A and B are shown apart, each in its own frame.
Chain A
């Protein structure tokens, strides 16, 4: 750990040296594209170092949010991923003001039609259906498309006896789609139930943040529930609870570690070990390892 601490000091010094004059003279903010500030511990380091550490804060071990592309790259075997339902896109069921514009903008920014990407892949040779939620897309809230994609992914897996690995991240149900978004909680949970009744294995990986209607549906229903270190997991928002009880909550409230202590997480797995943990789970459930990498 000493070397990381040293590295951190070097980085910090570099940051101080580089930014101070600028900050003094112009009052500029931390350049987002060069530096990363950890939202948990406030640690600041060069983005380059942070990316090299798989977007994990070296000081507090917070596992920062990834884009779906980054997660895919870190998780699946090269060339093995075949996407499902990429063309599925949102409508505006309750005529919510400016909803279409917002979605259109996010599509461009995130390179996907919606807040989840689903498909089939292998992880270290083990075939599975995978879902990756991307919090950069409207906080990965669940509307019709997210619900439908998850349901279809589970139905596909059920028909073929495949396991499902779901990387969850969400602010909850998407209020811009009104009651229809709430119904996606029931729909996805029903699809998980059918997959389970057919003997299917479902592994959830809770990533930052997994909350609200997603925590209260498919994210909490894995046969095995993994979580990344230090991520936020909970039903109600922190501020909502603080407003209700009129006191400040401890910092570790609703962390992955808190949830494990309360009995809702099987294992906390760091990012660098996730592929190994997932493939080991698949192996232990008797799934065969495929040697040939499918294109």
Chain B
């Protein structure tokens, strides 16, 4: 399947979101609000719950299932306070020795006046910086769209998994087309050039695990998709939770440290 075809699936209005996945994957889930500085951003949902019998912290980007939900969650485009809430909950997870599960699904961090005033760049940078050395396992799963820095802010992790049809890109194909050819309608061409599928990202050492989707895409059998994510997460948490914390952090640094292609 081409990247463009997968993009169609990712944008399918029936594609499951965290509203479907969280109840199916976690038990006794409780949502926590606010960054303690400015406000609460509905584009990022955070809380705690059980994954099987392990208490975990969940940080997830909120794609709405309809216009009303999307208005509330700003189409899953977080403001700085969303990233700061994520960081607060991540530090809390470290304190109470809970593994962190990040569920990534965003077109990107929000671009607007207020986001700039409150330091969108600083908020994302701070997450990259702090997540790199948190002494607790971090597992990120890209569910649909992984839009640039807005996704990366929840994806500095020990393992990155992607749903089979999920995409993760440095720039939206539309944005790339408008920069490259001054023509955003060439989105389709940019989509293929950018190499943004789970398969591509596995080759680059960015994606560690591809989670298979039901035939034709997750929207055809949301429960089955949730089961596959659950199985992966239980396995990953068990593996990572037994690792020595210092080693875990060192391996995380090395995972990102070695990504790059150059000659000398």
* Chain A residues with a Cβ under 8 A of chain B: 85, 87-91, 93-94, 96-97, 144-145, 147-148, 151, 173, 175, 177-187, 189-194, 197, 211-213, 215-221, 234-237, 240-241, 244-245, 249, 253-254, 262-264
Contacts and interface: CB of A to CB of B under 8 A. Distances in A.
Contact of B116 (A144, A183, A187, A241): A241
B253 A190 contact: yes
Contacts of B113: 241, 245, 249, 253
29 contacts: A88-B263, A145-B260, A145-B262, A148-B262, A175-B194, A177-B261, A178-B194, A178-B196, A179-B170, A179-B200, A179-B204, A180-B204, A182-B149, A182-B152, A186-B152, A189-B128, A189-B129, A189-B132, A211-B121, A216-B120, A216-B128, A217-B128, A220-B119, A221-B126, A234-B121, A236-B120, A240-B111, A245-B112, A262-B118
Contacts of B133: 190, 193-194, 197
Contacts of B89: none
B125 A221 contact: yes
B18 to A, nearest CB: 22
A96 B155 CA distance: 25
A194 B176 contact: no
B111 A241 contact: yes
A60 to B, nearest CB: 22
A177 B122 CA distance: 23
B247 to A, nearest CB: 15
A215 B111 CA distance: 14
Contacts of B195: 94, 178-179
Given A220-B119, A236-B109, 7 more contacts: A93-B204, A178-B170, A186-B152, A187-B259, A216-B122, A235-B109, A245-B113
Given A94-B194, A217-B128, A144 B260 contact: yes
A253 B256 contact: no
B256 A234 contact: no
Contacts of A178: 169-170, 194-196, 200, 204
B201 interface: yes
Interface string B128-147: 11101100000000000000
B263 to A, nearest CB: 5
B128 A185 contact: yes
A250 B195 CA distance: 37
B260 A236 contact: no
A175 B111 contact: no
Contact of A186 (B111, B128, B169, B200): B128
Given A187-B256, A235-B120, A254-B116, A216 B125 contact: yes
A69 B168 CA distance: 37
A102 B124 CA distance: 30
Interface in B230-260: 253, 256-257, 259-260
B118 to A, nearest CB: 7
B228 interface: no
Given A93-B204, A144-B261, A244-B112, A186 B170 contact: no
A213 B260 contact: no
Interface in B190-247: 193-196, 200-201, 204, 206
B253 A220 contact: no
B11 interface: no
B149 A213 contact: yes
| Closest A-B pairs by Cβ, 7 of them | A236-B111, A215-B121, A189-B128, A144-B260, A235-B121, A220-B125, A216-B124
Contact of B130 (A177, A193, A245): A193
A263 B119 contact: yes
B67 interface: no
A283 to B, nearest CB: 27
B261 to A, nearest CB: 4
B152 A148 contact: no
Given A173-B170, A264-B119, A180 B260 contact: yes
A30 B179 CA distance: 27
Contacts of B129: 189-190, 192-193, 221
B171 interface: yes
B156 interface: yes
